[in-house]
Amino acid sequence: MLRYAAIDIGSNAVRMLFEQIYETESGTIFKKMSLVRLPIRLGDDAFLKGEITKSKEEKLVHMAHAFNHLCSIFEVQNYLASATSAMRDSKNGGRIIDRINQEVGVKIEIIPGDVEAEVLYESIFNTGKIDDDKTYMLIDVGGGSTEINIFASGERKEWKSFNIGTIRLKEGIQNEQEWEVFSKWLQDKSALYKPEYMIGTGGNINKIYKLCGLMDWQMLHQRQIHEKIEFLKQFTPEQLISQFDIRDDRADVIVHGASIYLRAMQEANIEEMIVPKVGLADGLIRRAYFSNKQNKN
């Protein structure tokens, strides 16, 4: 039995995932042991100030120490750690990564948007629940960026990362020209590949899915997302926290996040979305495991 871990340092939160891995006759099984979500919102610093503040830098260092301790407790054999949009946009992101490596020994890679999209694709494809004969468009919405993949016949055909995110929208700093690029790309690629379904990943769409009362790969319809947006817009973030059990660091961005997913479905002319509830951390663990397995062979 093997145990692997991953760190996903996003714009809205940091996630540490720990999984057990089993090899069976029917294939490789990844079973979650623990997911630790830390509300370190780096996007507020990165997108408004251009760098990570000292207080949040110290939280990242503490996070790395905690990760080391948890790896020891879970007896982790290997891990991958990645940072995305907020650290990419921060002028001191590289220095912070170097500091964590030197002081704590945790190696973190700041990955470009296309690599982030590739890892997300792998996390979905390896669920074993995607039909090889169908065409899908995968969208992941974060605080600072949105990643889109198109895959058909079990192969990734197109991918792109856009600087469109929930924190950018919340703070009123979203570049309007990026929306135009986003819309044109979706329209062009949808006309070319004709994807049958959207696949949505990310904390905001997971919560929308749950609020709609769906589970176990049931389809989420464009109409349901629109209705849920209009419903949630009636409440303040404080009311969303108290009445709908939404985390405080999600309550102020969930409508923005849902709106990005909805716009993507509208531009791509896709009515139904699959929400598999996997993300970047899942893909990182799968990448680490299969890479090590291939190297051993």
pTM listed for this prediction: 0.88
CB 90 within 8 A of CB 42: yes
Query: What pLDDT band is residue 130 in, cutting at 50, 70 and 90?
Result: confident
CB 285 within 8 A of CB 19: yes
Q: Determine if residue 175 is left, alpha or beta; phi over 0 gives left, psi from -120 to 50 gives alpha, anything else beta.
A: beta
**Residue showing tokens 């995932």:** 17
CB 140 within 8 A of CB 122: no
The pLDDT value given to residue 133: 87
What the chain holds in terms of domains, given with CATH numbers, is: 2-112 (3.30.420.40), 130-277 (3.30.420.150)
pLDDT at 297 over 70: no
SS3 of 8, please?
Answer: strand
pLDDT, averaged across the chain? 93
C-alpha distance from residue 180 to each of 89, 222, 263 (Å): 21, 21, 12
CA distance 159 to 191: 15
What pLDDT digit, counting tens, does each position of 177-215 carry? 999 999 999 999 999 999 999 999 999 999 999 999 998
Q: In what order do the strands lie in the sheet with 146-152?
A: 155-162, 146-152, 135-141, 197-201, 272-274, 220-221
**Residue showing tokens 């006309």:** 191
The pLDDT value given to residue 1: 78
The rounded radius of gyration (Å) of the Cα atoms in the chain is: 19
The pLDDT value given to residue 191: 97
What pLDDT digit, counting tens, does each position of 105-124 carry? 999 999 998 888 888 887 88
Average pLDDT over residues 275-281: 90
